[in-house]
Amino acid sequence: MTRQKLVSISGSSSVVRRPARGKFISFEGMDGSGKSTQISHLASALRRRGIEVVLTREPGGTPLGETIRALLLDVNNRGMHPTTELSLMFASRAQLVAMVIEPALERGEWVLCDRFVDSSEAYQGGGRKLGSGIVLAMQRALLGGRTPDLTIMLDHDIAESVSRARARSLETEGKESRFENEGHYFFQRVQETFRKIAARDKQRVFLTDARRPIQVIHEEIVAEVSRRFSDACDGEWTGDNPTAKMHPRR
């Protein structure tokens, strides 16, 4: 059974106990920067310590969201207007927040999400030149300002990461996605916007150099999660080692 700290709510005649709210961690970065790899390593590390984890992704993560994802990534939809693209990203996100993220956090589970609003700011705000203002306004209007407790941002070279993503899509889908079809200057704007967000939101965003070996990056992420959420976990984490002595106190 999951070990969890229970919060007592005193009423006049009864005491209701519910789990403390879970943590919401997003992963951001260029296509192919290693987000999925690091998410799955962190999820394993957390689960070994008895923490219940929900893994999800954007766009997608719900049946409706996956349908929207297919529209967004399809190279045949080349004529999609940037504002249509942004609206579809938020449509998928609104569904994901309402149906998956909020309920999981309420149950006391941790949510690890592959991309969130920062991707819209980087790709639609920066890449498509819509600007940050409209993205942040939609975040406030449609998501009530919902923001991750922590964002792990993987910083990588454009050429290396995008060519990895293209190779993976060719292998698994037989074609590149609509975004992977974009040119160098598009990705340069995306990368610049990610770095701008990291500099602006230092408290929330942990920027890490994704050019290093997978295990080195993983250990740094585990150390950061442990430091940020010392209220939720006992002691120091020493990496994804099943014998490490960690006890979650949710």
Q: Which residues bind ligand ADP (CB under 6 A)?
A: 29, 31-37, 164-165, 168, 210, 213-214, 217
Residue type, 57: R
d(CA 250, CA 244) in angstroms, rounded, equals 18
Report in angstroms how near the CB of residue 102 gets to ligand TYD at its nearest: 18
Residue 84: CB minimum distance to ligand ADP, A = 24
Indicate the angle between helix axes 63-73 and 82-96, nearest 10 degrees.
160
> Among residues 31 and 109, whose Cβ is nearest to ligand TYD?
31
> Rounded to whole angstroms, how far apart are CA atoms 92 and 70?
11
Nearest residue (CB) to ligand TYD, 35 versus 189: 35
Question: E strands along the chain, which residues?
Answer: 6-10, 15-19, 24-29, 53-57, 110-114, 150-155, 205-209
Interacting partner of 164 out of ligand TYD, ligand ADP, none (Cβ under 5 to 8 A depending on kind): ligand ADP
Pick the closer one to ligand ADP by CB: 37 or 87: 37
Sign of CA dihedral 92, 97, 103, 104: positive
Report the interface residues with ligand TYD, using CB under 6 A: 31-32, 35, 58-59, 89, 114-115, 119-120, 123-124, 165, 177, 179
> Given the complex with ligand ADP, which of 209 and 236 has the nearer CB atom?
209
